[in-house]
Structure 1
């Protein structure tokens, strides 16, 4: 394309950049908290929203199925919100997504249970999860696109890493709330009314975050597109352009998302439950170990983002994913020794932080006119497939095949991530894939 857009010149981060990063990360943290708090209370929800005479394993699988439904609907929300984000602006969709997350979360905290309204209870729960899935489908890709187009090109990795750390902070908030609930409330109190508190809190804080986002400004790159009227690519539906002209970039982004989904969903979200069910850990020990792992993840996401700004994409991916695969195996095969749980879990959380650099690749390989749609389609489509089947597969194989099934699954996928890094190294660190405005 002639007169290609140029990115913000190389410079240091200024006060406006920091405000953008803080508000984006804070909103992302609260929205991600709203989306994942469900899994921390999945055992309670399975008890309350399904018949008591249903086998425990079946109600648990059905609860994970409702959780997975939020992932399956993500592509639709992502495609629609990204379409208008590429046409009307990043900020408008970025703000709308958090409203669409906050309200269903608040409603979940107020839902009647199975004993009150019967089969309608899980149906309403499913409906709320679908609404959450629509919202988060636009939030995460929109956030990465938003910050990447605000900061100077030599700080894109750092910005994406900080934002992913913010999303991870949402998981930490969920784990902290869950730990506090288990520590200060009895099992009967949690079942009676306590489980509602995390959802109500999340909904309220989500609305506050939406208000704070009004202080954000539209990205300079999108404003430049509007100013120059450079809409050649946008004459088509953006997602069609993504699939017809940027298929290699899309496939690689989807594969990296598959790796990311396994690391976050299995190691961070499902492992506390598996530690209790499969390895006999107490809820407090499992959740405290999870908190340490998430802290490691938060630190590591920013670290690996910085590494992307300093070294080649291929090198960082290859080394980071290989280390993560090794640590996952060590962690799971050492679970028979409870004395080192906190050490191995925290180190594994840090190693998983390589996923914080994946968004750097995604925002760099799609041009500005379709960037939101490219990142959104790749990320959400892969996450819908992986997120939809992973909880069910892990739950089934852990119960009926091997307790080590999660380790084998996730470590195998991080080996795939290392292979992608090697592929990029062989192909001159994907220089031929980079968008002009991101070179």
Structure 2
């Protein structure tokens, strides 16, 4: 019986790939920890700390508006980091983005509340949220590219999925820290000052993330771009030449997953406690368990995509998401803890089907020399239209009607739109090559 032995070089390459995948997962987890921590605090704390003069509904809308500001800032980060990521490399831009997110989150933990400094409290909160958004805008596309561009040809979806796993991992970490801090002190103390502790912890976590990320080598694909003198002077301009139509379809393809995820991760914390009298700890626990399932199933779905292709999997997942979004809030409205748990578990099982390959789908639209800029643009516009607006729209619809029917209709429309966009996009082949052309171009 013949045994296959890997060469020393093959073993070294595999170790590098694993180190890159692990570093991108850890880095994105820490960035999403900061981002989701803000979302949880916006749903449960910030209306009382920073908008006490408003009614409960108006205060919640104001708090969710500051949450949405981070999404508005993300395209700025995506464009800036995308430009330099295509010009000077992926690695250094990702280090800067991690630093920005960690510093901003730590400072949120020391911002005085409205009772201390008046209107300057929400102003400072918004400014720091903008910094968070810019940092995450640079992280999302860059981490996907670093991981995917180190991957072997037959595992591009798998490696591109590692940063995607950072989203649910960051959510779980944020909720665990939030719940643990809440459990260790009286409720009044937590609402008054204890909520700051999870934000202050960001300072320590970012040091860990930097120590890991600094060990990662530059993307070999970007090094190939440099060696072929194919670096573009204005990469975003060249990226748009892929075609506005294809880019618009890709944005549409991702909005349903983003909207559904932020409704179940963020909006339900406010809606469930204020309108349905669910226990806050119970809801956070449900979201966390769903996120664990989401995290654990991403490698399975990216493996399916590598073996069988993305089209059937993605369209099937989009149909499942549409069906479950129609059922999700009515299940929650029953007021039963058992039924609500089933609703959240369904989201945890269905959301990762389409989320797992979104980064790879977007990245494959663009040639390597402009991939960071193009991917950032599509990713962040889709995030605004999907996740950034979902909590605000949902809260407004509930405030108008007093019930969740309008939110269910909204989610159904968004899911149907994404399904149509996916069907049209997958009818045409990927438009761009993965590597730069051999012929040199002017820098």
State how far apart, in whole Å, the 2-side matches of 1:72 and 1:411 are: 24
CA contact (8 A) 1:108 1:125 kept: yes
State how far apart, in whole Å, the 2-side matches of 1:178 and 1:409 are: 30
CA contact (8 A) 2:249 2:424 kept: no
For 1:115-134, list aligned pairs within 5 A.
Answer: 115-134=115-134
The equivalent residue for 1:15 is 15
State how far apart, in whole Å, the 1-side matches of 2:248 and 2:12 are: 33
The equivalent residue for 1:3 is none
For 1:97-112, list aligned pairs within 5 A.
Answer: 97-112=97-112
State how far apart, in whole Å, the 2-side matches of 1:317 and 1:154 are: 18
The equivalent residue for 1:206 is 206
Secondary structure in structure 2 of the residue aligned to 1:365: coil
Change beyond 3 A, Cα 1:23–1:213: same
Secondary structure in structure 1 of the residue aligned to 2:110: coil
* 1:299-356 deviation line (CA, Å, top 9, x unaligned): 2332222222122322111101111221222332222032232233112211011212
Matched positions, count = 422
The equivalent residue for 2:61 is 61
CA contact (8 A) 1:317 1:420 kept: no
The equivalent residue for 1:266 is 263
The equivalent residue for 1:431 is 429
CA contact (8 A) 2:90 2:142 kept: yes
**C-alpha displacement at 1:436, in angstroms?**
4.4
Secondary structure in structure 1 of the residue aligned to 2:435: helix
State how far apart, in whole Å, the 1-side matches of 2:238 and 2:53 are: 51
The equivalent residue for 1:249 is 246
State how far apart, in whole Å, the 2-side matches of 1:416 and 1:278 are: 29
**C-alpha displacement at 1:12, in angstroms?**
12
**C-alpha displacement at 1:207, in angstroms?**
2.9
**C-alpha displacement at 1:256, in angstroms?**
2.5
State how far apart, in whole Å, the 1-side matches of 2:116 and 2:397 are: 33
Change beyond 3 A, Cα 1:153–1:412: farther
Change beyond 3 A, Cα 1:294–1:71: same
Change beyond 3 A, Cα 1:334–1:352: same
CA contact (8 A) 1:78 1:376 kept: yes
Change beyond 3 A, Cα 1:224–1:395: same
Secondary structure in structure 1 of the residue aligned to 2:201: helix
RMSD: 2.1
* 1:204-257 deviation line (CA, Å, top 9, x unaligned): 2023212321100001111111112123xx13x111112234323321221133
Structure 1 spans left out of the alignment, 5+ residues: 1-9
State how far apart, in whole Å, the 1-side matches of 2:322 and 2:13 are: 33
Structure 2 spans left out of the alignment, 5+ residues: 1-9, 437-443
For 1:41-120, list aligned pairs within 5 A.
Answer: 41-42=41-42, 43-50=44-51, 52-120=52-120
State how far apart, in whole Å, the 2-side matches of 1:356 and 1:169 are: 13
State how far apart, in whole Å, the 2-side matches of 1:410 and 1:301 are: 23
* 1:103-147 deviation line (CA, Å, top 9, x unaligned): 010100011111111111111111100111111110011111111
State how far apart, in whole Å, the 1-side matches of 2:13 and 2:340 are: 38
* 1:184-211 deviation line (CA, Å, top 9, x unaligned): 3222111222010010112320232123
The equivalent residue for 1:139 is 139
State how far apart, in whole Å, the 2-side matches of 1:356 and 1:225 are: 27
Change beyond 3 A, Cα 1:142–1:436: closer
Aligned mate of 1:300, from 291, 297, 300: 297
